[in-house]
Amino acid sequence: MKKIKVAVALAAASILTLTACGGSGGGSDAESISIVGFAVPETANKAIAKEFNKTPEGEGVTFQTSYGASGDQSRAVESGLKADYVHLSVGTDVQRLEKAGLVDASWDDGDNKGIVSSSVVVLGVREGNPKNIQGWEDLVKPGVGVVTANPASSGAARWNALAAWGSVVKNGGTEEEGKAYLDKLFKNVVTLTNSGRDATTAFLGGTGDVLLAYENEAILAAQQGEGFEYIIPDSTVLIENPGAILKDSSKPSQAWLDFVLDPQGGQKQFALTGFRPVNTAEPGVVDWDAIGLKPEDIKGAKDPADPFPAPKQLLTLENDFGGRDWSGVKEKLFGTGEDGEELGIVTDSIAKSGKASQ
């Protein structure tokens, strides 16, 4: 049975220091928080840190940060990379740290179920949409080059693949039809990057015709003057990114997590950088009064009057794929063939495409 070997580089992302005044921190002491995260929310976390420093609990707190592909970051923390707070793409990457004894088992017991940020999967296209991309069926047409990250290292890539799979099997298609669709999709993939942020960078650099991405990546790119058009497909997935503090976290870390979840604290800053706030009555639907913003405050969205529109079909891990722990789809889609087990459907599609080593 074919297996895919994943090379893991510890501390793949450089470590930066953030403070409200731009000074330097000396490490994860009582007045410092070490954040280890996946690449996509770096800008949002910087904005949250700046606002946190204005609070009594955050005054004088400095930040050590490391960002990279979610799976790589999780494995790095497991292997010794210092972290007080982790902000990762998928729950399984926090579960790894729980199993290692680094995160308390109650990390996902609260009202937010451990989720600190959310978004939806979108299809980024070139200006004017020359390939006339409207939905998932267009990504498997001849001559369409698709850019996505590699599920072996990237949580963003797992959300992308889950959305693609769900667009078939949650709309009357069989699992065999879903598998056939993924085979065609990965045949059209022109590059598998290490992280979701790397995928966006590659697309902005001219690679491919379509980018599988978080909605917030498209909005942030526009805010930074590098915008690209994007389509919210009729069927998409609610991306739910977990955050947790470690058992031996520094003193201000719990206050930081509380602030991250505060509607007019961290959640407001997430919204301003393109994420959909969590803790809403209906998943993916924004309570504007709760976060103290108006739709027009979100710059860079496709529709300024409705920056976070409700998708026609919004699939969720909890309602459609066996639960937030990914148990319903982890091995089925992403199994790596270890110990004689079959490859997962996504892993097999990538292997057959010949792009697994990219």
Q: In this predicted structure, what is the pLDDT of residue 340?
A: 66
Closest CA to 67 of 50, 91, 88, 93: 88
Q: In this predicted structure, what is the pLDDT of residue 216?
A: 95
Q: In this predicted structure, what is the pLDDT of residue 279?
A: 77
Q: In this predicted structure, what is the pLDDT of residue 282?
A: 86
Q: In this predicted structure, what is the pLDDT of residue 30?
A: 66
What is the separation of C-alpha 93 from the centre of its chain, rounded to a whole number of angstroms?
11
Closest CA to 89 of 62, 118, 110: 118
Closest CA to 227 of 130, 299, 178, 300: 300
Rounded Cα–Cα distance for residues 333 and 166 (Å): 11
Q: Average pLDDT of each block of 10 consecutive residues along the chain (358 residues)?
A: 36 38 41 96 97 97 96 97 97 97 96 96 97 98 97 93 98 97 98 92 96 95 93 97 97 98 97 93 91 97 95 96 92 85 92 76
Q: In this predicted structure, what is the pLDDT of residue 140?
A: 98
Radius of gyration of the chain (CA): 19
User: Which residues neighbour 153 within 8 Å (Cβ) at sequence distance 6 or greater?
Assistant: 6, 8, 69, 70, 71, 72, 194, 195
| Count of CB atoms situated within 10 Å of the CB of 78 | 18
DSSP at 336: B
- Helix then strand then coil, in percent of the chain rounded to 5, is 35, 20, 45
Q: In this predicted structure, what is the pLDDT of residue 7?
A: 35
